[in-house]
Amino acid sequence: MDFSELNLNEQILTSLGEEGYSEPTPIQAEAIPVVLEGRDLLGCAQTGTGKTAAFAIPILQRLAERPAGAEKRKISALVITPTRELALQIHESFTAYGRHLKLRCAVVFGGVSQKPQEDALAKGVDILIATPGRLWDLMGQKLVDISKIDVLVLDEADRMLDMGFIHDVRRIVKKTPDSRQTLMFSATMPPDIAELANEMLKEPHRIDIAPAGSTVDTIRQFVYFVDREHKKDLLEYILEKSPVASVLVFTRTKHGADRLQRLLSKDGIKTASIHGDKSQGSRQAALKNFKDHRVRVLVATDIAARGIDIYELPLVINYDLPQEAETYVHRIGRTGRAGMPGVAISFCSYEEKLLLSDVEWLTGDLLCELTDNPYPMRNITPEKKDFVPSTYKSIGKKPRRGSRRR
């Protein structure tokens, strides 16, 4: 199937062609017709499946097809997303796919001056992308009216729940018309999200592209067992051996991200870090430098990395294993996107072995242990397994299942 079979107008097809897209991903192929029919939608799809385009394209189509007498420059579509980076990414997608349409799109988020956002809203907006906190503030100031929207999108609903935004989201949704079409997307579907969907959606069509806990087949997943004090040395060993130009490294804390960035920079490795305490300008600059290959390593916390969308990111390293196993799925989903190959390597100290067990239970896979380890764990060394992959020069080959004895 290609996009021309989805009854999209020529302007959108032209924009998609200019972006290099001809075939929809599975979630796009299933979601676009449903959204065009005006039905509510619940999508369970992990990062990298193309879900942004799955709602952006049909929303643009619906707004472009409004009758000639329809009210223009009112907020017709509202997208709520948890982070500033995600909001900017979604805005970029709407702008790219709708570049040949006479529609106006704006994005509002906290952490920056409100005045430019006020000016954009004053000009009239068809599509608004917003983080919950800034949107609620603007609504309180009577600068945003969502009482006439046609389509509401709740993106990354599980993250909004994790970040404590659900109360704000509920308050915002109450200000929208009951007649709206609602689209909800979530990488995981815990009970709280299922309950939220039941509250806000009407007989939704459900799409499960990647069940909670699954990982992309094109991602090869490995683990090094290493004591905490040697993690930095092991990371530098990998960076020295690996030919990849861009490496995304996850830490558990903001302090840990900054500390690792300083240590790597001191050792001559071009590194940037992003986390929630960084200014918006600093975070955007770090992301741009990483995308433009001005820095090789980007160290990130989970929330800050949520909006990172880089098409070719070959290697993700879990410097610290996450407290929540579901976060592991989000993290490694930054690589192996749209069928591209990728590698995810996790560092596991003795103290993190239970976290690793949680990850393996959730994903249903045993991570393959890498034995080319110059800094083997001294506390308790796990049994070796019979698979030693040539990791760094074979990125892109299909993973083989390991059989590590526990």
Question: Quick one: pLDDT band at residue 333, thresholds 50, 70, 90?
Answer: confident
Q: For residues 354 and 141, give the distance between their C-alpha atoms in angstroms, rounded to a whole number.
A: 48
For residue 304, pLDDT beyond 50:
yes
Please, are residues 105 and 126 in contact by the beta-carbon 8 Å criterion?
Answer: yes
Question: Quick one: pLDDT band at residue 404, thresholds 50, 70, 90?
Answer: low
Q: For residues 267 and 350, give the distance between their C-alpha atoms in angstroms, rounded to a whole number.
A: 26
DSSP-H helix ranges across 267-391: 280-291, 302-305, 325-332, 353-363
- Tokens linked to 77: 């579509």
Residue 144 vs residues 83, 175, 256, 311: alpha-carbon distances, Å? 19, 11, 38, 34
pLDDT greater at residue 106 or residue 159: 106
Q: For residues 46 and 23, give the distance between their C-alpha atoms in angstroms, rounded to a whole number.
A: 19
Residue 318 vs residues 99, 162, 252, 269: alpha-carbon distances, Å? 37, 20, 9, 18
Q: What pLDDT sits at residue 337? A: 63
| Among 85-89, 182-186, 314-318, 355-359, the least confident range | 85-89
Domains 3-208 and 219-369 share a fold: yes
What value does the CA radius of gyration of the chain take, rounded to a whole number of Å?
22
Ordered by start, the domain boundaries in the chain are: 3-208, 219-369
Condensed to tens digits (0 to 9), the pLDDT of residues 138-183 reads 999 999 999 999 999 999 898 888 888 989 999 999 999 999 999 9
The CATH class for the domain spanning 219-369 reads: alpha beta
Burial call 55-68: b when 16+ CB within 10 Å, e when fewer: bbbbbbbbbbeeee
Give Cα 2 distance to the centre of its chain.
24
Reduced to 3 states, what is the DSSP secondary structure of residue 143? coil
- Tokens linked to 307: 């909006």
Q: For residues 93 and 52, give the distance between their C-alpha atoms in angstroms, rounded to a whole number.
A: 7
Question: Quick one: pLDDT band at residue 122, thresholds 50, 70, 90?
Answer: very high
For residue 396, pLDDT beyond 60:
no
Q: What pLDDT sits at residue 192? A: 85
Condensed to tens digits (0 to 9), the pLDDT of residues 35-51 reads 999 999 999 876 667 78
Please, are residues 82 and 131 in contact by the beta-carbon 8 Å criterion?
Answer: yes
Query: Tokens 């090869």, residue?
Result: 220
66, 62, 81: which is closest to 7 by C-alpha? 62
Q: What pLDDT sits at residue 84? A: 84
Residue 72 vs residues 63, 217, 257, 395: alpha-carbon distances, Å? 10, 44, 45, 49
Check whether domain 3-208 has CATH 3.30.1330.200, yes or no: no
Q: What pLDDT sits at residue 406? A: 38
Q: What pLDDT sits at residue 70? A: 61
